[in-house]
Chain A
Amino acid sequence: MTAVHDPALDFGPATHLTCRACGERYPLGAAYACMECFGPLEVGYELHPPSREEIAAGPPSIWRYAALLPVPADIAELSGLHPGFTQLVRADNLARELGMRRLWIKDDTGNPTHSFKDRVVAVALSAARQLGLRTLSCASTGNLANAVAAAAARAGMDHVVVIPSDLEAGKVITTAVYGGSLIAVEGTYDDVNRLCSELIGDPLTASWGFVNVNLRPYYAEGSKSLGYEVAEQLGWRLPQQVVIPVASGSLLTKVDKAFRELGTLGLVEPTPYRVFGAQATGCSPVAQAFRAGIEVVRPVKPRTIAKSLAIGNPADGPYALDVARRTGGAIADVSDEAIVDAIRLLARTEGIFAETAGGVTVATLRLLLDSGALDPDAETVVYNTGDGLKTLDAVAGVVGPTATIAPSLTEFRAALGA
């Protein structure tokens, strides 16, 4: 198929879709799988790179990088949640505890619905608008559900969110509150994902944009902003090591893509960096493939408290493996107990309350330091992609009041051992 750009569509610098597996090109549209080989489609661009100054003069959101994303140049002026430009926290306390020289936490809990999913949804919503799709939808493990429901509400679009029925209450309520349809499916995330894939092509969903299915090429590009921001916030340079949670594997591959783009475009020195991926042992198909030294990711049935990472059949797993191996990184996995410990460690040392996925990432940081895979002297950025308030159950059993007393001075002194 010849890629013909429809001039009525404004996707900014994006010009076509291309198959990541076989290279076949397609016009921009609501398509996600190659008709030749089923490979994932990716956005292709003719980039006119902005200068550092132009980026710095942009809005304090992902739209400061609009020139590098498949969105119109004036996107910041349209209604939306305008996520991004979250804090990069210098984590000296945690670094000291772990024996590291310089450690940063990219804390994406600062987004409008408290996870990095606001970034990807913002780009997908723009694509839905361009393509005339009126209902925003998704298959979600929770964070995406929040982000889609809130973004659709702000943009005045209908939304239908599909989740596994066993999600944390915190993620169900924080989706339902935005109205719209919320369908809880009795099954795993992979069942939900499959159902949504089968809904594509059904007349019912003809004007629907499933952000992570038929809008996935655009959606995934939103994750590049997590690479751009870290580089800009470090003073336009790349970190030496990054640790990123792996569910589908998309975020990890897009941060790598962002780092490479910045180097190619001359916005940073293309210094070497190593990419590490983090999974929960109860859902670790990519880590298992990494350890086995194979390219094929065998699907698993998830069983972990880290539900936002519980994708047993990760579509970008092979690409995440490629990135970890190419950069000299690794993909490792940690137990549910280690996840809970790490959530508490990060909260205690840096005042950041991460959801289970953040616990996975910090626990993996610790594991890889212990094993010697991570260099404690190299500048390292850890991505915290979600907020602990959504997964309270993970720590509810292990934290609480240190004392419960009568309102008396004596008892208060006794409670503090004074």
Chain B
Amino acid sequence: MAVAVRIPTILRTYTGGEAEVRVEPAEPTLSGTLSALEAAYPGLSARVLDEAGALRRFVNVYVDDEDVRFEAGLATPTPAGAQVSIIPAVAGG
């Protein structure tokens, strides 16, 4: 039940430069996926989550192209084959 996670440039120091990694979360949710990421790449989840364990204000996380804030946040399901993307928030115009 591997989940693919796209890693933004600023976090690739944790993944040895890898832009995409695969993890096997014990629990099929975004929260579980982040725990699996932390186990494989120690320190990474603290970049994505704040001290209270919530998603940081300026990080956007997508599961299968949907912003998790439109879904269930950290409880958003990440079934086998899911694609998770972690992206810094940017403005536009």
Contacts and interface: CB of A to CB of B under 8 A. Distances in A.
Given A40-B89, A140-B92, A299-B70, A21 B8 contact: no
Interface size bucket, A side? Answer: 35 or more
Interface residues of B, number: 28
A108 to B, nearest CB: 13
Contact of A37 (B19, B56, B69, B90): B56
B87 A311 contact: no
Given A33-B10, A39-B58, A202-B19, A140 B91 contact: no
Contacts of B87: 194, 197-198
Given A33-B8, A201-B9, A143 B88 contact: no
A37 B91 contact: no
A299 to B, nearest CB: 6
B56 A198 contact: no
A190 B67 CA distance: 10
Nearest to A250: B91
Contact of A38 (B47, B69, B70): B47
B6 interface: yes
Is the contact region of chain A dominated by helix, strand, or loop, or is it mixed? loop
A361 interface: no
B69 to A, nearest CB: 6
A216 B19 CA distance: 22
A38 B9 CA distance: 11
A33 B86 CA distance: 12
B89 A315 contact: yes
Interface in B46-93: 47-48, 50, 56-60, 62, 65, 67, 69-70, 85, 87-93
Interface in B1-26: 6, 8-10, 12-13, 19
A287 interface: no
Interface string A309-352: 00101111010000000000000000000000000000000000
Contacts of B57: 21, 38-39, 296, 318
Nearest to A247: B93
A135 interface: no
Nearest to A20: B58
In the complex, the 10 A-B pairs of residues with the closest C-beta atoms, listed nearest first: A248-B91, A33-B88, A201-B9, A315-B91, A38-B58, A315-B89, A38-B59, A197-B87, A35-B10, A212-B92
Interface of A: 21, 31-40, 117, 120, 138-141, 143-144, 189-191, 193-194, 196-198, 200-202, 212-213, 216, 220, 247-251, 296, 298-299, 301, 308, 311, 313-316, 318
6 contacts: A33-B10, A35-B47, A39-B57, A193-B90, A193-B92, A213-B90
